[in-house]
A and B are shown apart, each in its own frame.
Chain A
Amino acid sequence: MHPVDPRISAPGRRSVLNWLLGLWGGGVCGAVLYPVARYLAPPDVPEAATQSVLAGSAQSLVPNSGRVVPFGSRPAIVIRTAGGDLRAFSATCTHLDCTVQYRPDLQRIWCACHNGQYDLTGRNVAGPPPRPLEAFDVNVNDDQIALSRRS
């Protein structure tokens, strides 16, 4: 019979305790970090998707001009072309989220931030924008312009 070497049994007990301590430490860190991480991500605020809005008087929108109006929480742009047609698009530039405007001298939709340009069908034709602007349907009722999302 050999005597039990104390160095053999001691690490066993210590490693169990270390393991428990690590488990406890990890648990505490997790219990702190998980709520913090969840807290940092903003909650989804459900918002009724806007399907249509009124965009002011049609008469007052003279040919070769445009107007930016709220469409839900985002801007939309209504344009009367030089030919007299009314058209509407999302006014959020597809490049980096700026709000576009109508440039009568270019007869194009123009973004001041990075000089992106769209033609009067909303197609991205110059500068950095990667996609065309979303087009909306335009109806005029009693001189009131109504914009609606295309289904």
Chain B
Amino acid sequence: MRSGRIRGWLDERLPIGDVIETLRHKTVPHHRYSLWYYFGGMTLFLFGIQVGTGALLLLYYRPSAAEAYESVQFIVTRVPFGWLVRSIHAWSANLMVASAVAHLFSVLFLHAYRRPRELTWLSGVLLLLLTLAFGFTGYLLPWNEVSFFATRVGTDIAAAVPLIGRGIVRFMRGGDDVTGATLTRLFGFHVAVLPAVATGLVALHLLLVQRHGMSVPPSVERRAAGDPAAVRAMPFIPHFLLRDLFAWTLVLAVLAALSTFYPWELGTKADPFAPAPAGIRPEWYFLWAFETLKHVPPAVAGINGELVAVAVMAAGALVALLLPFLAGHTPRTRRVVVWAGGAALVFMAIMTGLALSAVAP
């Protein structure tokens, strides 16, 4: 048989057989919280869609202040299915942030960051931050009014950092103001630097997930001690894989519906000498930070208000990053983690709600 010969030739050179053999023996724990295992895979699926649609957009997009808006306009009005590709890229980005956030909080509440999965958590939080960086850098690329001011505000926040703040702003903007130089710079990060880093981190994250397997939540572990039927093992192939594919199909359906019925708007072209339009706000996942900045007074205890806000947010990110090393292994510290995570979630939800309901005076 010819196909047998080809397989034999490949097997000698590529360890595919080993990989398939390993996957065939792989099992996934099955219990009442198993649903949350699917969010990581969904995020990965959406990342794949971003790579694909992003590559397609690159064929027509032109990264300069003079041409960016027009080239996106060309994509959505003239290129066949261009509107769909751009709409999927924009919607998929939003779903990816949502799915990554859901993944992070489920891992937090189910305590999957515990030993020996500290590095899995660390790479995961870094990947979420990278996802947000993708969102921030991609937002400016159509060079429209809303994204122009959002980028001016977003980059200027760094100016609050003492000593090096101004330097960071100049580094991000490619100069003192948001100009075409900023556009090319953020474009370079969006399509080259961030994807390279993200690919490496995703590979590490997946490798670690394979190495350690899925974490079983402590509460389920306790139940299983008395009742072994509380945790059953599900074969990865085909049971878990098919469920994963079902979840991906569901995501694809939602994505197609959103992109078709609510195509992403392009807005009006950025004009550096027009006032910021009323009702301006960033994407929904930055809304909580935006609303917080609105309520911070110019000075807190004699210190620049933004600096205080930025310091608190940076400290929050640092705590999230180092959570497995800070949280102990007792039920008591686990309760603290749940309460802190819940409080953060509630705070962000309230701030987002306030921002959504805010009307201009």
A84 to B174, CA, bound (A): 41
Decide yes or no whether B347 CB sits under 8 A from chain A.
no
The smallest beta-carbon distance between B100 and chain A, in angstroms, is 26
Residue of A with least CB distance to B178: A97
Are A112 and B361 neighbours in the complex by a CB distance under 8 Å? no
A50 close to B (CB within 8 Å)? no
Judging by beta carbons under 8 Å apart, are B305 and A42 in contact?
Answer: no
Chain B proximity mask over A123-151: 1 for CB below 8 Å, otherwise 0:
01001111000000000000000000000
Residues of A within 8 A of B299 (CB): 130
Interface assignment of B167: CB less than 8 Å from any CB of chain A: yes
Q: Is the CB of B305 within 8 A of A106?
A: no
Assess the A99–B181 pair: CB atoms within 8 A.
Answer: no
Q: Which residue of B lies closest to A93 (CB)?
A: B276
Collect the chain A residues with CB atoms within 8 Å of residue B297's CB: 128
Interface hit among A6-14, A56-64, A68-76:
A68-76
Q: A40 contacts the other chain (Cβ, under 8 Å)?
A: yes
Q: Which of B44-52, B149-157, B233-241 forms part of the interface with chain A? A: B149-157
* Beta-carbon nearest neighbor of B153 in chain A: A96
**B304 within 8 Å of A by Cβ?**
yes
Report the minimal beta-carbon distance from B60 to chain A, rounded to whole angstroms: 28
A88 at the interface (CB under 8 A from B): no
- How many residues of A are counted as interface, with CB atoms below 8 angstroms from the partner's CB atoms? 31
- Chain B, residues 153-177, CB within 8 Å of chain A (1/0): the string is 1011100000000010011011101
Q: Given the known inter-chain contacts A75-B273, A115-B294, A128-B297, please indicate yes or no for A98 contacting B304, CB distance below 8 A.
A: no
Tell me the smallest distance from the CB of B265 to a CB of chain A, in Å: 18
Chain A residues near B276 (CB-CB < 8 A): 93, 98-101, 111-113
> Which B247-282 residues sit within 8 Å CB-CB of chain A?
272-280
Among B149, B304, B360, the one with the most A-chain Cβ atoms within 10 Å of its Cβ is B149
Q: How far is the CA of A69 from the CA of B167 in the complex (A)?
A: 28
Contact A41 B167 (CB under 8 A): yes
A69–B272 Cα distance when bound, in Å, is 10
Report the bound CA distance from A124 to B114 in whole Å. Answer: 49
Q: How many Cβ-Cβ contacts under 8 Å join chain A to chain B?
A: 83
Which partner residue on chain A sits nearest B149 by CB separation? Answer: A98
Contact of B306 with A96 in the complex, beta carbons under 8 Å: yes
Q: Does residue B116 face the partner (Cβ distance < 8 Å to A)? A: no
Cβ contacts under 8 Å, B305 to chain A: 128, 130
- Rounded to whole angstroms, the CA-CA distance of A129 and B299 in the bound complex is 10
Contact between A42 and B153, CB atoms less than 8 A apart: no
Please measure, in the bound complex, the distance between the C-alpha atom of A75 and the C-alpha atom of B275, giving whole angstroms: 9
* Contact for B157 among A74, A75, A77, A96, CB less than 8 A: A96
A112–B306 Cα distance when bound, in Å, is 18
A74 to B152: give the CA distance in the assembly, Å. Answer: 13
Query: Chain A residue with minimal CB distance to B282?
Result: A113
| A79 lies within 8 A of chain B by Cβ | no
A78 in the interface, Cβ–Cβ < 8 Å? no
Contacts of A77 in B (CB 8 A): 275
Contacts of B360 in A (CB 8 A): 112, 115
Q: Is A45 an interface residue (CB 8 A)?
A: yes
B275 A101 Cβ-Cβ under 8 A: yes
B324 to chain A, nearest CB (A): 31
Binding site for B on A (CB under 8 A): 40-42, 45, 68-70, 73-75, 77, 91, 93, 95-101, 106, 111-115, 124, 127-130
Other A-B contacts than A41-B167, A75-B272, A114-B290, 14 sampled, CB-CB below 8 A, are: A68-B274, A70-B273, A75-B275, A95-B306, A96-B152, A97-B156, A99-B273, A106-B361, A112-B275, A112-B277, A112-B278, A113-B280, A114-B153, A128-B293
